[in-house]
Structure 1
């Protein structure tokens, strides 16, 4: 029973993320989540006592949805810590977000909602801070070129690239192709240890 409840809760949170991406924070209602999850009316309200709780938990869950699997992280950590390995990891990040644009668009909606709702802001701040800390530690502890500043610059550059790609896909930088832009970002940010 508890496993079924957790499975249902995850399905409702995934549906909430999809609703946020499609309709924005104002469109996030229990009815919309029930419809998106294809569950009986009233199901979401049985799992989340109010809309703030739903928003807060969706803010925590969106990072789980966007994160690479442990198997993928293991494969990314396997090659030697080179600029090329960093490039491959940035392409992997971009590909993951491109396969689930709703997850990242929902994250943007939640960030905006967090400017008005302290509980949402707190959940996002906690999750994003942990992600940044983990990314920096992965980069530094893995011996990849550059240090903490390089890892943080990569995070900020990729975040901007992803926002541009998902929200304004017709801007002129797209003509070069995201793949080339990612390569250029990595070359500009990550030092070449061989000169």
Structure 2
């Protein structure tokens, strides 16, 4: 199968995971989502484990591609730019990146029962820590590894709530306004000095 057809199947698997969860991830469901003949996914990913690995690897590839696009942009030079940058990531999680993140969260849950899957996914979350620390330093904040980790963990913790979009939870956490959420987070970790 050409690489683009393989990617088509892996992207369809992301769609299935996002829409139906881990239990809905079947070869047949992937074939249907990709609009390919029945049995195509099974030919290239013969077992459920192979299918899970393929979709996890695709999530990692998409994450790295997004990271490369972000790295190509000028780093935030101040608190306001950092706020806009981080809020933009949260908007993406609730919007265009929603399916990829839903699939990733399903894979994370599955990895609690399959350690090999955790090894595939771990570089994605781990890469955020140095990248976000670097962004905080570039913005002129007095970042330490610990402070930067608090910001990163808070952003990671926000994702399931953004994805489930419960209005009461979004309002209670401040995530109904991602810019305000990020401003409050940064003000808590890096209080303004008089």
Shared fold (TM-score, shorter chain, > 0.5): yes
So what's the TM-score if we normalise by structure 2? Answer: 0.83
CA deviation profile, 1:39-92 (whole Å, cap 9, x unmatched): 121211222231112112212322333452634432241x42x22222122112
Q: Is contact 1:76–1:85 with CA below 8 Å preserved after alignment?
A: no
In the alignment, what sits opposite 2:71?
73
Q: TM-score, normalising length from structure 1?
A: 0.83
Residues 1:132 and 2:131 are matched in the alignment: no
* Paired residue total: 188
- The aligned counterpart of 2:181 is 181
Structure 1 residue 127, shift from structure 2 partner: 3.2
The equivalences for 1:105-120 within 5 A come to 105-120=102-117
Match of 2:90 in 1: 94
CA distance in structure 1 between the partners assigned to 2:55 and 2:69 by the alignment: 24
1:8/1:138 CA distance change after superposition, 3 Å:
farther
Aligned to 1:54: 51
Instruction: Give the CA RMSD over aligned residues.
Output: 2.4
C-alpha displacement at 1:128, in angstroms? 2.5
The corresponding residue for 1:41 is: 38
Write the mapping of 1:160-179 to structure 2, written as runs, cut at 5 A.
160-174=157-171, 177-179=176-178
Query: What are structure 2's unaligned runs of at least 5 residues?
Result: none
Query: C-alpha separation between the residues in 2 aligned to 1:28 and 1:105?
Result: 13
